[in-house]
Amino acid sequence: MYKNFARIYDTLMQEVPYEKWLLRIDEWIKIYGLSHPGATGTKQHADEKNLVVELGCGTGTLTEKLAGLGYDMIGIDQSQDMLNAAIEKKDISGSEILYLCQAMQEMDLYSTVGTFVCVCDSLNYLVTEEDVLKTFKLVKNYLYPGGIFIFDFNTGYKYENLLGYSTIAENYDDCAFIWENYYDADECLNESELFLFIQGSDGLFARHQETHYQKGYELGQIRRLLAEAGLAFVSAIDDESENAPDEKSERIFVVARNEE
């Protein structure tokens, strides 16, 4: 996954509302968390408290934006190809982001951190409750006491009613894609077949194919798994309306805290 797709990911994700999510995350850290952008680390453990880790950071778009607000950033992704694109952005911006190639359910950090962030339905790529629970337990393990975990997830409603039986196609100057979706309602599992057409340096287009799987989750499931991992649920909103989630919510944002 995300090998050839990484080469055109940013082109195809131009409509992702990163700025809206950036403002939301920054606001929630200030309201609920303990990270402080631009902190010097002069107080005991301040350097750890002010670290922010983005899980499933991809090509580093949001990671760079958070770094631009003054947060000390670590980006984690299991795709080296996606991280290569993120490192190119880092070289241009001159940021001091640390990127680690790790699966989030197997992450290994050198210290505790003040905040974890995981957005753009990265959590849905964990297609078993076991892997979600592993991830939540690792977040709990590395989260500084009082630190928060901000994440989103796509719901089963979104996959079953909006995405799961659709075909999406888009064409750009140097690339194009066809995205075919198939939804298994019994397993709440969405299979995406991606057909990519990417222009090379010779001007010719090469065809590539990738298969992605995502699982739809419900807020009740997520709250149960957070509790099993020892994380306290703080708040949740519907991404679009910013009201309390309901049965037709498509993407839900959650804040959880390590209260120990």
- 223 close to 235: Cβ distance less than 8 angstroms: no
Taking the C-alpha atoms of residue 130 and residue 259, their distance in angstroms, rounded to an integer, is 23
Residue 39 pLDDT = 53
Answer with the residue of higher pLDDT: 75 or 208: 75
State residue 66's pLDDT score: 96
CA–CA separation, 91 vs 93, rounded Å?
6
Tell me 239's DSSP state. Answer: T
Report how far apart, in Å, the C-alpha atoms of 220 and of each of 34, 159, 186, 241 are. Answer: 27, 17, 17, 19
| Two structure tokens written together for 111 | 């210290």
Q: Is 71 helix (H, G, I), strand (E, B) or coil?
A: coil
Nearest to 50 by CA among 115, 111, 138: 115
Other CB atoms within 10 A of residue 43 CB: 10
| 57-84 mean pLDDT | 95
* Residue 169, CA atoms < 13 Å, CB-side half-sphere: 4
Pairing of the two strands 113-118 and 51-55:
parallel
Structural domains of the chain sorted by starting position, each given as residue range(s) with its CATH number in brackets? 5-154+217-257 (3.40.50.150), 157-215 (2.20.25.110)
Map 12-23 to HEC letters.
Answer: HCCCCCHHHHHH
Residue 70 has pLDDT above 50, yes or no: yes
Q: Which amino acid is at 178?
A: I
Mean pLDDT of the chain: 92
For residue range 5-53, list pLDDT tens digits in order. 787 788 888 889 999 999 999 999 999 988 777 554 445 467 788 899 9
**DSSP state for residue 151 in the 8-state scheme:** E
Computed over its alpha carbons, how large is the radius of gyration of the chain?
A: 18
Q: Indicate the SS3 state at residue 171.
A: strand
**Tokens encoding 212:** 């992605």
**Contact between 132 and 225 (Cβ < 8 Å):** yes
Give pLDDT, residue 35: 78
pTM: 0.93
